């Protein structure tokens, strides 16, 4: 096993972590001042969302300079201090690599748009219009057409995300060389890897053919024409040969719409260009696929469906590739609100979800604040939101489309990206201890009760449970290496699985839901099973055969034969 297979990653959204200079925006010195907080939690690797100079449109994912730090986040010396502070604690740093697109303010694009024969023109994807409109009907992820007419040359450029995020032309070898060079720049400064943004969108189907029209939006997402495109593997293999193979670093690719088979190719230990990917199947469970914009919908899903999806990735990548494990990030709602119960059972359900996250096979990713059990932030006014995706939805649907604002706000409450982007609550005091100035986005209204200070002071808190789980994972190789077997795939609320490795086998029991569950006739806990960790019962206890609402237990049993009694 490699270091990155044994690691736990903690994702930081710098804008919202901790502000050290009172401008209302989190920054690098803020992060450096909290390294002991992260070290105590036990995480090994920090994934830092973009801190580069940017165009101010998409939370740093619209980069204007790949080799520097945005002044609001600090300076390159501040960044070096952070890296040194991490390395001094035996921790590692992974940077965000955003190279499907740049900002429209990047010098390459400023040049490219000047004339059709500019040397940078082919850094981007330009096409003349068709019949007075865009070259094809492709929609952008953030609403509207994915093509933008640029008046200077009367041609359209492609942008799969915001208008201000033009897509780079990966067919151009000069673009690829630029990317490899900027990767080398950071690797030579000593970083430990990259999280690669939308990395399976690099290769577009030639000709940008139309996609099937959407239900009620003119511009549907043409995913079949840009996800896992024809040259993707060629580009990624080249990237590995030219750059990554020369360093002992980890890579994780963000890849929507990838099957386990495709992931096995991408992450094959010998030939795969990446170490692991973020798959999106479990993110789709509560979406309505028939809707014109599924990601804004919320439909109930069943626990057996969750087990099917997670189980498929566990079994199909076992021995073939490597999984990443995540239930949240900066693009999705808070996990306790989405998969748990953010009301009366907030704490036990947050712990249950953590138990799931840390006891599957793969590298777990914790999103900042999830270790405090933070729920979604439900702002009552659209004025409190900042995310381009959220604001575009509101503009298209309410301001231009005349839909009911209450209904759209509810969609935003359930699925908006700002749920995850409110400032880290460090204390219950002024501005939650995040800033001495005015925070760039309002605080999550729960901060007076749910903040690091209260959570650290409470030995039964979500934070200490995360710490215990991370420790457990380190002490039990079956969690990292073992096989996964779902014991009761059909059961409506019980998620029970085994993790089997050589001489050791773990049994994980998760009662998904607000009802107690009598295990009698459902599953026998073997007589020799010893409780390692639970969110109700303490290690070593012999708890009853009834699981409390949202109860989670991790047992160890000594041998595979003894575990046979379960069947």
Nearer to ligand TEU, 123 or 296 (CB): 296
The pairing of strands 155-158 and 147-150 is antiparallel
* Cα separation, 557 vs 526, whole angstroms: 8
HSE (side-chain half, CA atoms, 13 Å) at 311: 16
Q: Give the Cβ contact number of residue 431 at 10 Å.
A: 19
- Helix then strand count (H, E) for the chain reads 17, 18
- Joined tokens for residue 242: 């030219």
Q: Does 50 participate in binding ligand TEU (rule CB under 6 A)? A: no
Q: Which two tokens stand for residue 166?
A: 């033009």
Which is nearer to ligand TEU, 197 or 371 (by Cβ)? Answer: 197
Neighbouring-strand partners of residue 327: none
Min separation Cβ 514 and ligand TEU, Å = 29
Which distant-in-sequence residues (6+ apart) come within 8 Å of 521 by Cβ? none
Smallest distance, ligand TEU to C-beta of residue 141, A: 5
Q: Retrieve residue 106's tokens.
A: 């990047």
Strand runs labelled E in 33-116: 45-48, 92-97
Active site residues: 197, 254
| C-alpha separations of 165 from 18, 25, 96, 254, 449 in Å | 27, 22, 16, 17, 38
**Residues in 106-145 that interact with ligand TEU by CB under 6 A:** 141
**Please, what is the minimum distance in Å from the beta carbon of residue 391 to ligand TEU?**
12
Smallest distance from the beta carbon of 365 to ligand TEU, in angstroms? 12
Q: Taking CB under 6 A as the criterion, which residues in 282-301 touch ligand TEU?
A: 295
Q: Least CB distance from residue 146 to ligand TEU, whole Å? A: 13
Contact call for residue 197 and ligand TEU (CB under 6 A): yes
Residue 166 vs 348, nearer CB to ligand TEU? 166
The helix (H) or strand (E) run that includes residue 307 is helix 303-317
Cα–Cα distance for residue pair 209/222, rounded to 1 Å = 9
- Pattern of binders to ligand TEU over 309-338, x per CB under 6 A? ---------------------xx-------
Residue 297 DSSP symbol: -
Which residue is nearest to ligand TEU, using beta carbons? Answer: 61
Give the list of residues 6+ apart from residue 527 with CB closer than 8 angstroms, or none.
565
Q: Which of 85, 134, 253, 256 binds ligand TEU (CB under 6 A)?
A: 256
Figure out which of the listed residues 13, 17, 47, 61 binds ligand TEU, where binding follows CB under 6 A: 61
396 Cβ contact partners less than 8 Å away, ≥ 6 residues apart: 143, 144
- Binding flags for ligand TEU, 154-173, as an x/- string (CB under 6 A): -------x------------
State which of positions 200-219 bind ligand TEU (CB under 6 A).
none
Q: 499 near 508, Cβ under 8 Å?
A: yes
- Taking the complex as a whole, the smallest distance from the CB of residue 360 to ligand TEU amounts, in Å, to 21
Contacts of 140 (CB under 8 A, 6+ apart): 146, 159, 160, 161, 162, 163, 219
**Considering the complex, what minimum distance in angstroms separates the CB of residue 167 from ligand TEU?**
10
Residue number with CB closer to ligand TEU (257 or 477): 257
Supply the minimum distance, in Å, between the C-beta of residue 278 and ligand TEU.
9
Q: Which 354-393 residues touch ligand TEU, going by CB under 6 A?
A: 389
Q: How far is CA 144 from CA 127, 136, 168, 221, in A?
A: 17, 12, 19, 10
For 13-47, b/e burial (b = at least 16 CB within 10 A) is bbbbbbbbeeebbbbbbbbbebbebbbebbbbbbb
Toward ligand TEU, which CB reaches closer, 32 or 100?
100
141 vs 473, beta carbon nearer ligand TEU: 141
Q: Which residue, 102 or 355, is less far from ligand TEU as judged by CB?
A: 102
Q: Does 58 sit near ligand TEU (CB under 6 A)?
A: yes
By CB under 6 A, residue 47 contacts ligand TEU: no
- The residue ranges that bind ligand TEU (CB under 6 A) are 58, 61, 98, 141, 161, 197-198, 254, 256, 295, 330-331, 389
């Amino acid at each position: 096993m490699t270091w990155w297979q044994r690691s736990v990653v903690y994702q930081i959204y710098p804008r919202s972590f901790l502000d050290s200079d009172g401008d209302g925006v989190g920054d690098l010195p803020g992060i450096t001042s909290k390294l002991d907080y992260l070290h105590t939690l036990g995480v090994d690797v920090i994934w830092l969302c973009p801190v580069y100079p940017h165009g101010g449109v998409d939370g740093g994912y619209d980069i204007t300079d790949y080799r520097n730090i945005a002044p609001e986040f600090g300076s390159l010396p501040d960044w070096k201090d952070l890296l040194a502070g991490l390395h001094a604690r035996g921790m590692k740093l992974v940077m965000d690599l955003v190279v499907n697109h740049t900002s429209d303010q990047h010098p390459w694009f400023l040049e490219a748009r000047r004339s059709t024969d500019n040397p940078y023109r082919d850094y981007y994807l330009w096409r003349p219009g068709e019949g007075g409109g865009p070259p094809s009907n492709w929609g952008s992820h953030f609403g509207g057409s994915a093509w933008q007419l640029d008046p200077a040359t009367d041609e359209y450029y492609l942008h799969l995300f915001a208008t201000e995020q033009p897509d780079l032309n990966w067919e151009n070898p000069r673009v690829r060389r630029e990317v490899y060079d900027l990767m080398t720049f950071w690797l030579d400064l000593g970083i430990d890897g990259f999280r690669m943004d939308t990395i399976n969108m690099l290769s577009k189907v030639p000709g940008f053919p139309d996609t099937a029209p959407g239900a009620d939006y003119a511009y549907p997402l043409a995913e079949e024409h840009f996800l896992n495109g024809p040259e993707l593997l060629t580009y990624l293999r080249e990237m590995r040969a030219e750059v990554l193979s020369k360093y002992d670093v980890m890579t994780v690719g963000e890849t929507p719409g990838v099957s386990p088979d495709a992931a096995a190719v991408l992450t094959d230990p010998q030939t795969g260009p990446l170490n692991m990917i973020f798959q999106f199947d479990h993110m789709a469970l509560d979406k309505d696929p028939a809707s014109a914009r599924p990601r804004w919908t919320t439909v109930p899903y069943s626990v057996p469906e969750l087990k099917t999806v997670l189980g498929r990735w566990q079994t199909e990548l076992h021995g073939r590739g490597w999984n990443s494990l995540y239930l949240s990030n900066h693009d999705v709602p808070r996990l306790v609100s989405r998969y748990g119960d953010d009301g009366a059972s907030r704490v036990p359900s947050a712990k249950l979800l953590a138990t799931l996250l840390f006891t599957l096979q793969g590298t777990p990713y914790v999103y900042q604040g999830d270790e405090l059990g933070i729920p979604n932030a439900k702002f009552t006014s659209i004025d409190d939101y900042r995310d381009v995706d959220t604001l575009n939805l509101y503009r298209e649907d309410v301001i231009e489309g005349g839909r009911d604002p209450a209904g759209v706000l509810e969609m935003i409450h359930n699925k908006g990206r700002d749920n995850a982007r409110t400032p880290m609550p460090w204390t219950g005091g002024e501005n939650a201890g995040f800033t001495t100035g005015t925070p760039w986005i309002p605080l999550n209204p729960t901060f007076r009760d749910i903040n690091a200070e209260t959570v650290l002071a409470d030995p039964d808190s979500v934070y200490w449970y995360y710490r215990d789980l991370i420790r457990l994972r380190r002490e039990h190789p079956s969690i990292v290496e073992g096989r996964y077997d779902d014991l009761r795939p059909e059961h409506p609320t019980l998620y029970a699985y085994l993790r089997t490795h050589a001489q050791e086998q773990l049994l994980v029991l998760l009662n998904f839901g607000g009802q107690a569950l009598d295990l009698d006739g459902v599953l026998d806990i073997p007589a020799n099973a010893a409780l390692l960790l639970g969110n109700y019962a303490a290690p070593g206890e012999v708890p009853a055969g009834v699981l409390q609402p949202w109860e989670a237990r991790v047992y160890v049993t000594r041998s595979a034969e003894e575990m046979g009694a379960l069947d």
